[in-house]
Amino acid sequence: METRVRDSAEIVAVIPARGGSKGVTRKNLREVGGVSLLARAIRSAQAAPSIDRVVVTTDDAEIAAAALAAGADIVHRPATISADESSSESALLHALDVLEGRGVRTRVLVFIQATSPFIEPVSLEEAIARVDDDCDAVFSAVPTHAFLWRLDADGASGVNHDHSFRPRRQEREAQYRETGAFYVMRAPGFRAAGYRFFGTVGVVTVDERHAIEIDTLEELAVASVLARAFDGPGVLAAIDVDAVVTDFDGVHTDDRVLVGEDGAEFVVTNRSDGMGVRMLREAGVPLLILSTEVNPVVTARARKLGVDVRQGLDDKAGALLEWTTAKGFDLARIAYLGNDVNDLACLSLVGWPVAVADAHPLVVAAARVVLTRRGGDGAVRELAELAMPTDKEAQNDN
């Protein structure tokens, strides 16, 4: 009886992740649903049973550390192939060469892009099976029946259709749009060709809801909203900070104002939020409220809570920098909780930008953590519970 010996060559997933990004700063480390894009890509690859090894190729020390923490191997990508104009192929070929130098023979290359946060392992498995069967290269795509147009000096004309004839959708053959999420290739063929589409090319169709690719802050915001539906409720992880800074309207309040007939303005705050502030204060975690609002209710509420406040501000970011400098805090260890676009400058300064659940989409996109509670409805309390020192930290302070 003949014994079949398994090919020792591996199925290797490679995730290119440069430190630079023009559209969204530090994009690969930005979080969707509380998990970085990089970690999401690594998890998808790790969950595909056929994949033997997950590798991140990067030029960035922070990304390398995050990848190692998520369980991936690292290939250090040289600067010569890490520029904006460098191709993905150059990074993949370099990674294969480095792995070969480590004694790793790659049979199938699974090229995954971290900019697609909702890659399903079952789709990776289907693509790998196609390459093992009858294809040299397979890519992820969504079917489309869209009419495409081009514009030139003479006006618009049809690209994939005769614009003088409009057949019904069911009468048109489907075409396929690349999602950019993943490409699976026979590694020897890829190395010989030098590009990803060679030989017999196949398509694995994916759910269009999972086909979002992130290149802008707006797309990051959309992905953060979708993650709540795709990932389920989940549990937000604790955050390790030295101080908490918050906006007022839309954070401590629900962003509404009651106006009396004499012009007096009133807002509604939440006792649960007040308890959260008290918890932080008693745990020795300083809190500052920053507000552009001039109404004295802001200072009155801060006085009631026993926390620092700066209001009537034209430059909230400047006030944040002044306060942290005076207190000797490291901005990387500050959490800032905001809800609207005038919080973006502050969110960009701190290590822990946080958004209330009903924040503006740009604030959601800028946030490292998006809370489950809305402004004025327990968001401050939720952040307080996340930012409470752990027992270990408390013991170290004693």
Separation of alpha carbons 288 and 240, rounded Å: 17
Nearest Cα neighbor of 246 from 384, 377, 368 is 384
Model pLDDT, residue 220? 85
Structure tokens at 193: 């060709």
How far are the Cα atoms of 56, 100, 253 from residue 297, in angstroms, in the given order? Answer: 51, 66, 11
Classified as helix, coil or strand, 310 is strand
pLDDT at 1: 40
- pLDDT grade, residue 149 (50/70/90)? confident
- What is the average pLDDT across 46-53? 94
DSSP β-bridge partners for residue 152: 155
The residues spanned by each domain of the chain are: 10-144+174-220, 243-397
Residue 397 has what pLDDT? 47
pLDDT tens column, 186-238? 999 999 999 999 999 999 999 888 888 998 888 888 888 787 777 765 556 67
Give the residue among 148, 126, 152, 150 at the shortest CA–CA distance from 139. Answer: 126
pLDDT confidence of residue 234: 57
- Does residue 392 carry a pLDDT above 70? no
d(CA 290, CA 247): 5
CA-based nearest residue to 120, from 204, 186, 36: 204
Can you give the pLDDT at residue 391?
Answer: 54
Confidence of residue 398 (pLDDT cuts 50, 70, 90): very low
Phi and psi torsions of 66, nearest 5°: -65, -40
Tell me which of 3.30.1490.190, 3.40.50.1000, 3.40.309.10, 3.40.50.740 is the CATH number of domain 243-397.
Answer: 3.40.50.1000
Q: Residue 7: its pLDDT value, please?
A: 53
- Tell whether domain 10-144+174-220 is in CATH 3.40.640.10: no
Q: How confident is the model at residue 161 (pLDDT cuts 50, 70, 90)?
A: confident
Query: What is the phi/psi pair of residue 107, to 5°?
Result: -90, -45
Confidence of residue 376 (pLDDT cuts 50, 70, 90): very high
**Residue 150, pLDDT score:** 87
More confident residue, 262 or 98: 98
- Contact indicator for 251, 245 with CB cutoff of 8 Å: no
Distance CA 222, CA 212 (A): 9
324-375 per-position pLDDT tens digit: 999 999 998 999 999 999 999 999 999 899 999 999 988 888 888 888 899 9
pTM of the predicted model, to two decimals? 0.66
Q: What is the pLDDT of residues 60-102, one digit of tens each?
A: 999 999 999 999 999 999 999 988 888 999 999 999 999 999 9
